[in-house]
């Protein structure tokens, strides 16, 4: 079997801890190449911990992670970037005393070679162009978020993890971002943590909900009802009340 046919990501019985607390409690998940997966769940449910574990920024206490069939469970974060995993925006903080262009170029050098370069990233995110010569330390919240996403792309990942992707972006910028991301469909595996449920359901081909560190729900936007999703947010397995339909 070639690596292209293997799942992009295979998570097996993953456990992640914060001190005594189990944030991820034995989570298993297989993500196919080029799948568009939306991850939802309450704050504190473990979504960010899970993203950080996949990216190598949070230790895996138990279980394993395969990237295209190859184990990466103990691989350091910078090697996972070279292996094709990119996380935004949590990966690394921007270097505040370097320009936006320098921040992007460093990410390009430390990543893989491919279609994403400074100029293609700026084509996809036009709002970055006027910022290239500016020091990253002076950027507004939304400008930083845009740079962080650009930095993930420029490493030419095969698996892109976008945590809280629209955080701090204006409605117009969110619209533009999702248009750009839609252009990536079919070329990369996209895993997007998104609090806007309507947005998540409209964009993704598959939706999972994490509640208290476990996978509570897994399905396609077409087959999941809002009620199922709402229940899953709170870790409720049964419907609360009969519907009056």
Ligand X SMILES: Nc1ncnc2c1ncn2[C@@H]1O[C@H](COP(=O)(O)OP(=O)(O)OP(=O)(O)O)[C@@H](O)[C@H]1O
**Binding positions for another protein, 115-144, rule CB under 8 A:** 127, 134, 138-143
- For the bound state, the minimum distance from the C-beta of residue 139 to Mg ion, rounded and expressed in Å, comes to 10
Among 10, 48, 88, 143, binds ligand X (CB under 6 A): 143
The three-state secondary structure class of 207 is: strand
Instruction: Give the number of other Cβ atoms within 10 Å of residue 215's Cβ.
Output: 21
- Looking at the chain, the number of H-run helices and the number of E-run strands are 8, 10
DSSP E strand stretches across the chain: 9-18, 21-31, 36-40, 62-67, 70-71, 85-88, 159-162, 189-193, 206-211, 214-219
Residue 168 vs 176, nearer CB to ligand X? 168
Nearer to another protein, 71 or 130 (CB): 130
Q: Which of 2, 21, 43, 141 binds ligand X (CB under 6 A)?
A: 141
- Does residue 8 sit in helix, strand or coil? coil
Q: How many whole angstroms separate alpha carbon 33 and alpha carbon 26?
A: 23
Asked whether position 35 contacts another protein by CB under 8 A, the answer is: no
Q: Which residues bind Mg ion (CB under 5 A)?
A: 140-141
- Asked if 176 touches ligand X (CB under 6 A), the answer is no
Among 5, 18, 30, 109, binds another protein (CB under 8 A): 18
The distance of closest approach from Cβ of residue 196 to ligand X in the complex, given in angstroms and rounded to an integer, is 17
Q: What angle do CA 96, 101, 104 make, to 5 degrees?
A: 85
Secondary structure letter of residue 158 according to DSSP: S
Using CB distances below 5 to 8 A depending on partner kind, what does residue 167 bind out of another protein, Mg ion, ligand X, none?
Answer: another protein
CB of 141 to Mg ion, least distance (A): 5
Closest distance of CB 85 from another protein, Å? 22
- Strands 62-67 and 70-71 turn out to be antiparallel
In angstroms, rounded to a whole number, what is the distance separating the alpha carbons of residues 27 and 213?
Answer: 7
Integer-rounded Cα Rg, in Å, for the chain is 18
Q: Which of 150, 154, 146, 77 is nearest to 112 (CA)?
A: 154
Least spacing, CB of residue 173 vs Mg ion, in Å: 12
Decide which of ligand X, Mg ion, another protein, none touches 26; Cβ closer than 5 to 8 Å per partner kind.
none
Candidate segments 19-27, 44-52, 135-143, 187-195, binder of ligand X by CB under 6 A: 135-143
Interface with ligand X, residue 127, by CB under 6 A: no
Q: Does the protein bind another protein through residue 69 (CB under 8 A)?
A: no
Q: Which residues of this protein are in contact with ligand X, per CB under 6 A?
A: 138-143, 168
């Amino acid at each position: 079997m070639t690596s292209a046919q293997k799942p992009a990501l295979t998570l097996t019985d993953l456990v992640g801890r914060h001190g005594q607390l189990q944030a991820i409690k034995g989570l298993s998940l297989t993500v196919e190449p080029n799948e568009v997966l939306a991850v939802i769940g309450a704050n504190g449910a473990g979504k960010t911990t899970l993203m950080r574990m996949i990216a190598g920024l949070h230790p895996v206490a138990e279980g394993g992670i395969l990237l295209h069939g190859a184990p990466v469970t103990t691989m350091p974060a910078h090697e996972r970037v070279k292996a094709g995993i990119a996380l935004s925006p949590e990966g690394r903080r921007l270097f505040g005393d370097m320009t936006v262009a320098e921040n992007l170029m460093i990410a390009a050098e430390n990543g893989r070679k491919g279609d994403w370069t400074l100029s293609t990233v700026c084509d996809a995110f036009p709002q970055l162009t006027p910022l290239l010569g500016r020091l990253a330390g002076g950027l507004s919240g939304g400008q930083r978020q845009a740079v962080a996403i650009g930095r993930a792309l420029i490493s030419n990942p095969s698996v892109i993890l976008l945590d809280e992707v629209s955080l701090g972006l204006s409605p117009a910028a969110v619209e533009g971002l999702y248009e750009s991301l839609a252009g990536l469909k079919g070329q990369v595996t996209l895993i997007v943590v998104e609090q806007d449920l309507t947005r998540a359901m409209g964009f993704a081909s598959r939706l999972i909900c994490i509640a208290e560190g476990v996978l509570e729900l897994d399905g396609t936007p077409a087959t999941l009802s809002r009620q199922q999703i709402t229940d899953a947010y709170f870790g409720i397995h049964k419907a609360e009340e009969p519907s009056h339909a």
